[in-house]
Structure 1
Amino acid sequence: MSLEPLVLPTAEWADWLDGYVRGRLEVVGEVSGRLREGGGLDTEAVLELWNDADIALRAADSAAGLFAEVHPDGEVRDLGDKLAQDVDRVRTDRDLDRGLYDVVAATDPAGLDATAERMREKVLRDFRRAGVDADAAARARLREISERLAVLEQDFRRAITTDVRTLRLVPEQLDGLPEDFLAAHPPQEDGLVEVNTDYPDYLPFRTFARDAGARRALATQFESRGWPANDAVLHEMLDLRDEKARLLGYAGWPDYDAEVKMIGTGAAIAEFIERISAAAADAGRRDYEALLARRRADDPAAEGIDRSQSGYYTELIRRERFDVDAREVRRYFDFQRVRAGLLEVTGRLFGLEYRPVDVPVWHEEVAAYDVYTDGERRGRIYLDLHPRDGKYKHAAQFELVGGITDRLLPEGVLVCNFSRGLMEHDHVVTLFHEFGHLLHHVLGGRQRWARFSGVATEWDFVEAPSQMLEEWAWDPTILGSFAVDETGTAIPADLVARMRDAHEFGKAITVLTQVGYAAISYGLHRDRPADHTAAVAATLARYSPIAPLPDTHFQTSFGHLSGYTSAYYTYLWSLVIAKDLFSAFDADDLFEPAVAHRYRDRILVPGGTRDAADLAADFLGRPVTFDAFAAWLDRAPGQ
């Protein structure tokens, strides 16, 4: 069967989006009505109808959420936010509908195949976790909480997106920045240069600018985005999540949230945080002492390293100790070549072909490709990779269409904020990482049941495939295939080796920084302190040797507190798994087809049809262990 992708509009985006989302919400209502009527439906028929509603609800949610974040027209973004609230309201009503629950609960699992039985169990679990069996007053309050949280989470994200802060500096304060950065930031009529807190400005500035005061000023502004607007928003979000969890019989939000993840309980999150912190402590101390020693070469009286200095001195050590100058490395990573190289590498690795298509898109810089395997179209991807006003500020994969066998092609969107010219190698790694999510969405998008389609595993596994794909952005042969300088000379293999060694320096501090973020995510939800700023500063100081900046409010710009809630630990949990998955590959031949295709077919293609631990064990031939992560963490540069 030939499936056609979704056709996007060429104009009148607001009308299209409104009609598309509302049309699918009407389908949810119609299907729910048919289910309530019952009328002799057997188990398979009930589940198929439920799946029809899932497909429609997921489509509405995906479109509203995506275009609220990426559409260049502010009115369309606002409409997306409003429609997303409508979607959440419909979802909440469905999950709290006792009549629908009774229909599903009355079905007989006997005779179902394993995936259909899994589907039925997940639906019943969702009902219970929504509070369908609570009394009327509790259900009403849970509905109020859900609707209010939908608004608050949008407000939290939007405050971060719109709070772009600017510094006006004298040109000398840009000393150390690469030539192309300087060319893109010429002095204005008054002789001053504007630098802002968006990533294409902020990351190079904190890494290369020699002026410590300017770095500190920009970092202070960066770590206070969303302040003060998000302070009250975050307090209310945390309070409502806690109230919801307790109404449902849990000790608090982390226990409620962790129940459906690999980790299982809130207490296990705390244990995992401490385990990673202890594992990284010695290496982190060595890294920190090296950073402080290097800073003291500039300032003998220096007593520490703070968050405005760590990136700069890490880069200096990498340059001086390993002969790697990131400003020079950038010459090899022209954006257009990197994008082409990414497609070539992943296509070869997983047996894919990407065919560019000329179709309507929401912005002229968006590129669209159809994805083929063995001549068969498997999905469509959109690459929206450059910053613009009002656009989502980080890097993420968004769903446009969830794939359903013989019904819908999976369609995904990569949303990033990269330079249009030369890229940092770190950004190349990020691009590979996020593309891993996109591949998971497309390759896992051939499922009967919508809830198992694409990136549908437990949330603390979803980062593992994308983290593992980062390894392909460090291989000298792979990089040499697309990383060339202005003369056409490929990046030298010995430079890539030095880059890898340089990258290894500071990895423990990076891990400890992530531990701090995980502890913030968990601790704010567990304890709900009255003073978030003080609690966050204390947490950062406890887990990382890098000092937090005074007079900043990191939590109000920590966008993961909206989506990831108490589960930011998932990045490190997934990294442990990713290192173990990568151990199955031959580091000397990352294109070896047998293992690559086994990985594709056993990790990516199944989507959420099996528990993540079982997927990993099936691929590895054993359960996941901590060993590969521990070995990586202990390995010194050059080993």
Structure 2
Amino acid sequence: MTLAPLVLPSSDDARAWVETHAREGIAVARDLVDQLRSAPPETTIELLRQWDEISRQLGGVAAVASLLANVHPAEKVRTSCEESEVEADRFVTELRQDRALFEIFAAADATGLDAAAARLLDKTLDDFRRAGVDLDGATRHRLTEINERLTAIGQQFGRTIRDDVRTVRVAPERLAGLPQDWLDSHPAEDDGLVTVTTDYPDSLPARMFVHDADVRREVTVAFLQRGWPVNEGRLDELFALRQELATLVGYADWASYDADVKMIKKGSAIPEFIDRIADAADGPMRRDLELLLERYRRDVPGATAIDTADSLYYEELVRQERHDVDAQRVRTYFDFAKVQQGLLDVTGRLFGLSYEPVADAQVWHDEVTAYDVLRDGARIGRIYLDLHPREGKYKHAAQFTLADGLAGRQLAEGVLVCNFSRGLMEHDHVVTLFHEFGHLLHHVLAGSGEWTRFAGVATEWDFVEAPSQMLEEWAWDADVLQTFATDASGEPIPADLVARMRAADDFGKGYQARTQMFYAAMSYWFHTDRPGDLTAAMRELQARYSPFAYIDGTHMFASFGHLSGYSSAYYTYMWSLVIAKDLFSAFDPDDLFAPEVAGRYRDRVLTPGGTRDAADLVADFLGRPYTFDAYAAWLAR
């Protein structure tokens, strides 16, 4: 059976299409719910299938709304999508608090169910309980109010980050040090000044390469002030509502509620993990920070600390001087178009896939490209790549679901949303592209199962980054890079340069780990302590964990979008990295495309989606439980 992809709207009718799509999807789901209430299926498997169809309908509404709310060029379309998202979330909350539905599922007999169906029944019952289905009517009503408000605040928080693009106006001569292609694409305006925005393709090169310290500081401060002050009040309300929700359904705090369905299991284990990583990174951090300060003191005699307005610039100087790695030379090998095609070629070879451009696909912007993903000649999914910045678009890098893949029912469709340069790329951005594409592959490869609940990237949330972090390794291998990383004359990147790049990248990993733990600590303690002054609390945590000094007048938390999405669980990036390093240990570094291990990884870790616990998927691939050893060895070297 050939499954057809979703037909997206043209720009002219996008708003009406979004509203109709949401209305019809919710109506179908509501009708199925009414049928389920009035005439429950006779068998448990039929009950689960009907519930799964309800989930598919509502998931489709939410996925389309979430994507287009973050990428569509028209503000009125984005607003309609946000409204649709709220409506779908409201209905999901209503269902999970429906006692009559809960009693139907609680009475279901699991005898004879296969492992995936039995898992779905357990997860569904747990959803009901976590939503407060067994509480009194007034409490359930309050939980509904909280969930609706949380959705609205999350949208407002993200919208502010997305739309708050700040600018610094600079005389051209003060931009000395920037790559020529960057300067060529930023001509002086009528007043003789150049505009530098806080979008990544502008701000990152400015912070890395500009010789003028005052310009670097202006750009850094503007970047760290995004979202403030308006997002501070939203975060205060967000944390308070999450705490209220968690306590109403029987948890000590939000972190405990959130961790209960993750690999870590207990909220109290989060600060323990943070401190374990911080302790492991302490020695490497001090070693590398001293090298950074040593170079910094040559320009700023007597300096005892450095902050992020200068750290990126001096990291580059250390890498140039100690490892002979010039980031501006490196970027000449990473033309965006070549990198994109190289990514497709590499992942296709690794996982036995091919990508077929879909020239006539309806897209929301003319820079978006679509590809059908084929395995053994058969289409298994469709992907969309939206990779360059524009006004009103999501500002970071993420994979968005468009449709969950279900065997014989629905094609897996996903979207990669990033903000990369249209010309030459920094290698860090190449690594980011591989990382995010890892999520997209996970979504598509896990799109051939039976159940919506387990389709795509549906593992525990503290595992979802591990496959993507592991795929980054292919963006560091010289043999891999030489297949697409070529300069203007067609010469591939030299292997010895890649080796030096790798050595240079190892510089700073200790203090980068500590910086990540600063972010993780902020995400955890903001939710558990709910401080009255977020800036003061951030400063205290930065001093405890981060090697870099606080910059007066900045409020980084106001644009830290993960406080909405990851909530108290930003630790998951490092938790996943520990697992990713162990996963990669199974690959032969001299033959990263070895078909046996790549195929086994694809089939045992990616393809199952959420049908099993992540720890079991990893153990099935490795032949043993995962350990901390590979990460610790990498950090120490």
Asked if the contact 1:68/1:77 (under 8 Å) is kept, the reply is yes
Aligned to 2:374: 372
Would you say 1:130 and 2:121 are equivalent positions? no
Deviation at 1:303, TM superposition (A): 2.3
Aligned to 1:576: 578
| SS in structure 2 of the partner of residue 332 of structure 1 | coil
Asked if the contact 2:161/2:559 (under 8 Å) is kept, the reply is yes
| SS in structure 2 of the partner of residue 378 of structure 1 | strand
Residue identity matched to 2:459 = T
Distance in structure 1 (CA, Å) of the matches to 2:389 and 2:87: 28
Would you say 1:459 and 2:461 are equivalent positions? yes
What is the correspondence of 1:1-80 to structure 2 with a 5 Å cutoff? 1-10=1-10, 11-39=12-40, 41-80=42-81
| SS in structure 2 of the partner of residue 27 of structure 1 | helix
Asked if the contact 1:382/1:412 (under 8 Å) is kept, the reply is yes
Asked if the contact 1:507/1:633 (under 8 Å) is kept, the reply is yes
Residue identity matched to 1:5 = P
Aligned to 1:150: 151
Aligned to 1:621: 623
Deviation at 1:39, TM superposition (A): 4.6
Distance in structure 2 (CA, Å) of the matches to 1:500 and 1:34: 59
Residue identity matched to 1:508 = G
What is the correspondence of 1:443-458 to structure 2 with a 5 Å cutoff? 443-458=445-460
Higher mean C-alpha displacement, 493-502 vs 15-24: 15-24
Deviations 1:453-496 (A, max 9, x none): 01000000000000000000000000000000000000010110
What is the correspondence of 1:259-278 to structure 2 with a 5 Å cutoff? 259-278=260-279
Distance in structure 2 (CA, Å) of the matches to 1:519 and 1:39: 46
Deviation at 1:175, TM superposition (A): 1.1
Aligned to 2:247: 246
Deviations 1:302-321 (A, max 9, x none): 22111111111111100111
Deviations 1:40-59 (A, max 9, x none): 52211111110000000110
What is the correspondence of 1:556-575 to structure 2 with a 5 Å cutoff? 556-575=558-577
Residue identity matched to 2:3 = L
What is the correspondence of 1:625-636 to structure 2 with a 5 Å cutoff? 625-635=627-637
Asked if the contact 1:384/1:414 (under 8 Å) is kept, the reply is yes
What is the correspondence of 1:98-137 to structure 2 with a 5 Å cutoff? 98-137=99-138
Distance in structure 2 (CA, Å) of the matches to 1:44 and 1:38: 15
Distance in structure 1 (CA, Å) of the matches to 2:634 and 2:269: 23
Deviations 1:605-627 (A, max 9, x none): 00000000000000000000000
Asked if the contact 2:226/2:558 (under 8 Å) is kept, the reply is yes
Asked if the contact 2:40/2:104 (under 8 Å) is kept, the reply is no
Residues 40 and 202 (structure 1 numbering): CA distance in 2 closer, same or farther, change over 3 Å?
A: closer
Distance in structure 2 (CA, Å) of the matches to 1:531 and 1:299: 32
Deviation at 1:541, TM superposition (A): 1.4
Distance in structure 2 (CA, Å) of the matches to 1:248 and 1:309: 46
Deviation at 1:185, TM superposition (A): 1.1
Aligned to 2:310: 309
Residue identity matched to 1:190 = D
Deviation at 1:172, TM superposition (A): 2.1
Deviation at 1:452, TM superposition (A): 0.1
Deviation at 1:575, TM superposition (A): 0.2
Distance in structure 2 (CA, Å) of the matches to 1:256 and 1:476: 44
Deviation at 1:7, TM superposition (A): 1.1
Which one of 538, 545, 555 corresponds to residue 547 of structure 2? 545
Distance in structure 2 (CA, Å) of the matches to 1:404 and 1:90: 22
What is the correspondence of 1:319-330 to structure 2 with a 5 Å cutoff? 319-330=320-331
Deviation at 1:95, TM superposition (A): 0.8
Deviations 1:50-91 (A, max 9, x none): 000000011000000000000011111111111111111111
Distance in structure 1 (CA, Å) of the matches to 2:484 and 2:258: 42
Aligned to 2:164: 163
Distance in structure 1 (CA, Å) of the matches to 2:242 and 2:91: 19
Residue identity matched to 2:307 = D
Aligned to 1:495: 497
Residue identity matched to 2:38 = E
Higher mean C-alpha displacement, 4-13 vs 258-267: 4-13
Would you say 1:516 and 2:518 are equivalent positions? yes
Asked if the contact 2:335/2:425 (under 8 Å) is kept, the reply is yes
Aligned to 2:291: 290
Aligned to 1:189: 190
Residues 480 and 39 (structure 1 numbering): CA distance in 2 closer, same or farther, change over 3 Å?
A: closer
Distance in structure 2 (CA, Å) of the matches to 1:605 and 1:533: 43
Aligned to 1:224: 225
Q: Give me the CA root mean square deviation.
A: 0.7
Distance in structure 1 (CA, Å) of the matches to 2:547 and 2:6: 49
Q: Percent identity?
A: 60
Deviation at 1:259, TM superposition (A): 0.2
Aligned to 1:140: 141
Asked if the contact 2:41/2:47 (under 8 Å) is kept, the reply is no
Distance in structure 2 (CA, Å) of the matches to 1:250 and 1:46: 30
Asked if the contact 2:164/2:227 (under 8 Å) is kept, the reply is yes
Aligned to 1:422: 424
Residue identity matched to 2:344 = L
Asked if the contact 1:54/1:450 (under 8 Å) is kept, the reply is yes
Deviation at 1:509, TM superposition (A): 1.1
Deviation at 1:403, TM superposition (A): 0.6
Aligned to 2:611: 609
Which one of 468, 477, 480 corresponds to residue 478 of structure 1? 480
Residue identity matched to 1:425 = H
Aligned to 2:442: 440
Distance in structure 2 (CA, Å) of the matches to 1:495 and 1:39: 65
Deviations 1:362-392 (A, max 9, x none): 1100000000010111000000000000000
Residue identity matched to 2:562 = H
Residue identity matched to 2:368 = V
Displacement over 6 Å in runs of 4+: none
Residue identity matched to 1:98 = R
Aligned to 1:382: 384
| SS in structure 1 of the partner of residue 247 of structure 2 | helix
Distance in structure 2 (CA, Å) of the matches to 1:513 and 1:592: 35
Residue identity matched to 2:504 = A
Asked if the contact 1:38/1:103 (under 8 Å) is kept, the reply is no
Distance in structure 2 (CA, Å) of the matches to 1:16 and 1:594: 45
